[in-house]
Chains A and B, each alone.
Chain A
Amino acid sequence: MDLEYAPEYEAFRAQVRAFLDEHGAEAPRAGIGGGGGSRERTLAWQRRLIEHGFAARTIPKDYGGYGAQPDLLRSIIIDEEFARAGVSRGIGGQGASMLVPTLLEHGSEAQKREFVGPTIRGELLWCQGYSEPGSGSDLASLQTRAVEDGDDFLINGQKIWTSTAREAQMMFALVRTEPDARKHEGISYLVFPMSTPGIEVRPLHTLTGNAEFNEVFFTNVRVPKSSLVGRRGEGWKIGNTTLRHERNMLGSTSQTESMFASLVTLLQTETINGARAIDSPLLRDRLVRLEAGVLAMKYHALRLLTCELRGESPGVAGLIVKLVGCELNHQISGLALDVLGELGPLVRGSAHERAQGGWPFQWMFSLGLIIGGGTAQIQKNIIGERGLGLPREPKAA
């Protein structure tokens, strides 16, 4: 066990810091919901990051990336230093994190050339069309159909929980192309512009009071066959690569840690009857309880990182991050509300609001994340079946 980084990595860390010292001020302001700075500034920052290898780091140069060999430790160091400096890591989103790795693995040469560069530069924004009203946890039962019609597919159906559908120019979607095949084998992976006639986007207002998601309706949407990524009927496998890329992003706990740091500050600054909240033994006890949970996940992430570096399987330890991390975030924001008392439920814009209404928003939104991306219950099935080797639920007759 050795938590020191080798000298070559410390040298790399120094390079990252030097970059941040020199260029950090050019970055759009990081923060919840982003929204700091113009689109021009955001795109310029993204180009700067790629040029120095701090974004699209391992994407081949031919497709507009930086072309470095994958090196998990360097990626972690970049994350750590940007988080420490509070500087934006650039444009993420489902295009860069999910679509690009999928295209690199399964896309045609033409698709890679057309989409990868603009996506990593942030010029092309994507949304993901997976979930449907009737297909949530049982995603493979999806019913949106794409029927072959000459050189095109005609798409009919509906997607839901589509974030950024209003802003995105493109969608990557799972659709049923082979209605007679078994459910996992009848799905294809398509990419197409959101401006295609017949696509209608309706904002989906959630429990938080905002519309973080959308519903997308397809009525005779005609897309060329060249929209297909990989082969017909292989969409489930290809879509799962995308999900694997999502899950493989090692349980970054930096967001949880920074939320916890904000909670500590809240307890140290908020006063009740003239005394700081942290001077209440009851609130302090809850704070320390959460601190232990946060630290446990921080070192758990380091342990998983080590497994990845050593090429070892972490076993069941690798499957619990989503379940535990999302729960922890919900509890951190929940304690903030209790510290605030009646101030806690005050939303953005109210008199006496705290943190621009950020805590009640986080508290509600984090419940959404417990459900989204595979519910807590689905996570427990995965942990039980893949991690602990328990038998699957018998199929319903």
Chain B
Amino acid sequence: MDFGLSDEQRLLQDTVRRLLDQAYPTTRAREISVTADAHDAALHTQLAELGAFGTLVPETHGGNGLSFLDAMLVAEELGRAAAPGAFVATGVLAVTALRECGNETLCKELLPEIAAGRTRIGVGLAESYAVRDGAGVRLERGRLQGTALFALDAVGADRLLVHCAGGLALASAHQAGVEVIPLDSVDRTRRIAELRFDAVEPAALIEGTPRVLAAGRLALAFDSLGGCTRALELALAYANERKQFGRVIGSFQAVKHMLAEIAALLEPARSLAWYAAHAFEHAPADALRLAALAKAHISEVTTEILRKATEVHGGIGFTEQYDLHLWFRRVALSRQLLGGPELLRDEAARLRGWSA
């Protein structure tokens, strides 16, 4: 019985964190946030050299074949650094889709490329759980036709993976009939996009399992936990330094209690996230429900934490010059991506047999 991170996992966290502290300070995040695709090619290469993109790629395909929880710890660190979105899209969603689809040829072709950081895949799954405004991609005479909304990390990606006719379609992003239109959201640290397909020939059609969605939901949840870890660090530092009425504001109970509430929200949420990530591999019968439940819970908790952390800062927390808004906005987007709390709780209830 051991429910905690191993020494290797702590080392992994530490290694990724040190790389990001050095290669992706918030000054860099701000530079990247004003670019069209919110992608940092240099960082992508460094992360690939570290093995991050191969975390979930089996060793036989050039990856590290680590556990799902290991990948989630990487996602958490990337969230803490407000890093670009390639890891969740390519490293978790695309890799899980490939591993689960049973198409060995495709795995052989793509997984080593992903692990090496040589390909970036934008992923559009929104129409598999919530169709808006007539969106949806269908197959017409073997070609992709229609629109996918809210695709992750698709701007500037090499390939696109999109929900289509109950499965997933893979297509090159650079071909006639494909249009990738960036959608401007409150979160500038990552890009989401609308994908338009007009008679596009897919490179492959693969089976899409609900596990892909579950993997992405957990990755976003961990990303938000990482953001909250950073928000708490910032709020604590500020509360220990800022003086009003002749004393540091962290000595006032009104402020201290908000920080205590943040810790009380964050730590049990982290425990739930660990279990859901563990269950993804070790309790597959319950994995989908736990992923939905965990993401719903963590979305609620992390939104609340960023709100409280902003309030601890007072006026400065509301400015753009201060860094906190990076995570306030990032967590707000992640809350909605791949399903908001109500949708996820509804799904969790269904998977529990509490509703039809």
Contact = CB atoms under 8 A, between A and B. Distances in A.
B282 interface: yes
A299 B272 contact: yes
Interface stretch (B80-88, B189-197, B263-271): B263-271
A288 B264 CA distance: 20
Interface stretch (A42-50, A157-165, A379-387): A379-387
A390 B263 contact: no
A291 B261 CA distance: 20
A310 B7 CA distance: 12
Interface stretch (B144-152, B166-174, B204-212, B289-297): B289-297
Contacts of A393: 251-253
A285 B346 contact: yes
B126 interface: no
Interface string A316-349: 1101100110000000000000000000000000
Contacts of A22: none
A380 B278 contact: no
A202 to B, nearest CB: 34
Interface residues of B, number: 47
Interface in B165-221: none
Contacts of A109: none
A307 B240 contact: no
Specify the main secondary structure of chain A where it touches its partner: helix
Interface string A72-94: 01000000000000000000000
Given A377-B257, A385-B256, A392 B251 contact: yes
A305 B251 contact: no
Contacts of A289: 296-297, 300, 345
Interface in B280-303: 282, 290, 293-294, 296-297, 300
A288 B1 contact: no
B2 to A, nearest CB: 5
B297 A388 contact: no
Contacts of A296: 268-269, 271-272, 297
Interface stretch (A2-10, A114-122, A226-234): A2-10
Which secondary structure dominates where chain B touches chain A? helix
Interface stretch (B13-21, B153-161, B328-336, B347-355): B347-355
Nearest to A289: B345
Among A5, A320, A381, A393, residue most surrounded by chain B Cβ atoms (within 10 Å): A320
Contacts of A287: 349, 354
Nearest to A323: B264
A362 to B, nearest CB: 21
Given A1-B278, A306-B1, A383 B293 contact: no
A110 interface: no
Given A380-B261, A384-B256, A388-B236, A284 B349 contact: yes
Given A4-B1, A307-B4, A323-B264, A292 B272 contact: yes
Contact of A303 (B4, B253, B264): B4
Given A3-B278, A292-B296, A295-B272, A306 B260 contact: no
Contacts, number: 163
A312 B256 CA distance: 26
B36 interface: no
B246 to A, nearest CB: 9
Interface string A267-289: 00000000000110100110111
A394 interface: yes
A309 B1 contact: yes
B248 interface: yes
Given A380-B256, A391-B240, A295 B275 contact: yes
A245 B95 CA distance: 48
Given A380-B257, A394-B251, A387 B271 contact: no
Contact of B6 (A1, A305, A379, A390): A1
A288 B349 contact: yes
B260 A1 contact: no
Interface string B1-34: 1111110000000000000000000000000000
B275 to A, nearest CB: 4
Contacts of B257: 377, 380-381, 384
A390 B239 contact: yes
A194 interface: no
Contacts of A379: 260
Contacts of B345: 284-285, 288-289, 292
Nearest to A301: B271
B242 interface: no
A5 B252 CA distance: 45
8 closest cross-chain pairs (CB), A and B: A292-B297, A383-B260, A384-B256, A380-B260, A296-B272, A300-B271, A296-B268, A288-B345
6 contacts: A4-B1, A288-B346, A300-B268, A384-B250, A384-B259, A389-B236
Interface of A: 1-6, 9, 73, 264, 278-279, 281, 284-285, 287-289, 291-293, 295-297, 299-300, 302-303, 305-307, 309-310, 312, 316-317, 319-320, 323-324, 377, 379-381, 383-385, 387-394
Given A289-B296, A390-B251, 19 more contacts: A1-B5, A284-B346, A284-B349, A284-B354, A285-B349, A291-B293, A297-B268, A303-B271, A305-B1, A306-B2, A380-B261, A381-B256, A383-B260, A384-B260, A387-B260, A388-B236, A390-B239, A390-B256, A391-B240
